[in-house]
Amino acid sequence: MAINTIEIWTQASHLSAKQYVWDYCFSEILDISYTIHIHEAKEIFLKFEDKTMFMPDIFFERYPKTFHQILWDELQPQNPKSYTNPFTQEEIIGLYAMDRHFDVKEKEIHCPIDIFGSIFFFLTRIEEYFLSRDAYERVDEDQQFLIKHKLHEKPWVNIYMTLVENCFKHFGLPSKNLRSFSVIPTVDVDMRHKYLKSTSGLKEIGYLFKNARLSLVWDLIKDKIQYFKNKKDPYDCLEEMADMFKTNGLEGIFFFLPIHDAANATYELSHPEVQAQMEGIGRHHDIGLHLARNHSLELQLEKFQPKPKKMRAHFLKITFPNTYQDAISQDISEDYSLGYHHHIGFRSGICYDYPWFDIRANQKTMLRIFPLCLMEIAVDGYYPKINPNEFWKKSEQIILETKKYNGNFVFLWHNSNLKTAIWRPYRAIFERFIEQ
């Protein structure tokens, strides 16, 4: 329980949004209680005893009274400014910031970065309400701020909170980050079997021929020969993955698709084999909803018994705020969709779970977001070209960043990419993920 108290002095506008950030950062992360005080200055003051940290309030100065009044061209951050954390000498970027340096004195610290406005920008995913969409109706990844500026492999919210923690320690205020590092392995069960019929795999072989990946064609042929010899399908490894998680003391989440059609699952959720498999896995792990495309959430949940409380959208397709508003209305408590499909890193700028703030309703919700750090096919595509050592090096950077801030390493590895000839060389990396 927090025993240290600070005063936060701010203008009276947008208190619900600001308090969302302060509750999360101070009460939940740093175990510091606070009281709010109103003033007219266009800066935010953080006061502890006779010491004060000053920072600009740029984002909320620009933010209109209601969501519908937002002009994104005026609100969105421009080119990020680079600063140095005066206590650790590490780089820190400013989305909304002043053209001045940090000024650290014994009883005063002047910070040029609007830390809380920047955190609100990242956690709410406000930019995704305004960006265009790709062919799968997802927000265009390449337009997102962190991707555009090649900043997506750092958890900037955690870095901001470390800066605030440094400042309070300078003032003699002890704080304790309440988090510990955890590995959360997840599996999206898009397909349970690769060889559903004799012609299965021919389309894939044609694609690889067309793209001059001839060595992989032979791998596919070997897979098929192996299947006809022993009838063991390379995608049928869910129990094996569940056992591996359990052996390493981990509780995994297996997301099953409830809709069987061309755009979603290749299996029927109601099939006795699938039900038995889910029941077995569910004894030690969580069963989640893999939210199918083009079907109502309520209809999908009716196909489960019991109804899951965790979900991830198929193709990571999230529409703000509708997807999450629907999830809340159906008592979904956790979402694992916020990750990149062509990159790895921190889409929400953070490696912790956090409560979702509904911008349109202007309120914090009970829905908890667990950002996805890494998906195996996002490292180097469906048919990886880099060798396993390079694959590991790219992945390890994300793991190290997550460990540095005692975060959640949430990763996704499809059952379809564990035992095929193409992915078999990368299995050792999957094993290293769960041994962290």
Q: What is the DSSP string of 92-138?
A: EEESSB-SS--EE-SSEEE--B-HHHHHHHHHHTGGGGTS-B-TTSS
CA-CA distance, 291 to 311, in Å (whole number)? 7
Q: Is the pLDDT of residue 30 over 80?
A: yes
CA-CA distance, 223 to 24, in Å (whole number)? 49
Can you give the pLDDT at residue 96?
97
Global confidence as pTM: 0.94
Q: Name the band, by pLDDT with cuts 50, 70 and 90, for residue 2.
A: low
The average pLDDT across 5-22 equals 97
Closest CA to 351 of 83, 143, 153, 128: 153
The residue type found at 135 is A
List residues bridging with 97 in a β-sheet: 113
The residue type found at 180 is S
pLDDT tens digits, 83-102: 999 999 999 999 999 999 99
Say which residue, 233 or 57, is predicted with more confidence. 57
Q: Name the band, by pLDDT with cuts 50, 70 and 90, for residue 194.
A: confident
Question: What's phi and psi for 25, nearest 5 deg?
Answer: -70, -45
Q: Is the pLDDT of residue 3 over 70?
A: no
Bridge-based pairing of strands 108-110 and 103-104 is: antiparallel
Residue 248 CB-half CA count within 13 A:
19
Judged by DSSP in three states, 226 sits in helix
pLDDT above 70 covers what percent of the chain?
A: 94
Q: Is the pLDDT of residue 143 over 60?
A: yes
Can you give the pLDDT at residue 26?
95
* Domain ranges, ordered by start, for the chain: 5-170, 182-194+233-434
Can you give the pLDDT at residue 193?
87
Q: Name the band, by pLDDT with cuts 50, 70 and 90, for residue 333.
A: very high
The average pLDDT across 392-411 equals 98
Say which residues have a Cβ less than 8 Å from residue 115's Cβ, sequence separation at least 6: 55, 160, 163, 164
The average pLDDT across 424-429 equals 93
Is the CATH number of domain 182-194+233-434 3.20.20.370? yes
Least confident of 1-5, 11-15, 383-387: 1-5
Q: Name the band, by pLDDT with cuts 50, 70 and 90, for residue 435.
A: very high
Can you give the pLDDT at residue 239?
97
pLDDT above 90 covers what percent of the chain?
A: 82
The average pLDDT across 321-339 equals 98
Alpha-carbon torsion (340, 343, 347, 350), positive or negative: positive
Q: Is the pLDDT of residue 205 over 70?
A: no
Computed over every residue of the chain, the mean pLDDT equals 93
CA-CA distance, 366 to 350, in Å (whole number)? 18
Specify the DSSP element, H or E, that contains 238: helix 238-247
User: For the chain, what is the total number of helices (H) and then of strands (E)?
Assistant: 15, 17
219-228, 243-252, 412-421 — which one is most confidently predicted on average? Answer: 243-252
pLDDT tens digits, 59-78: 999 999 999 999 999 999 99
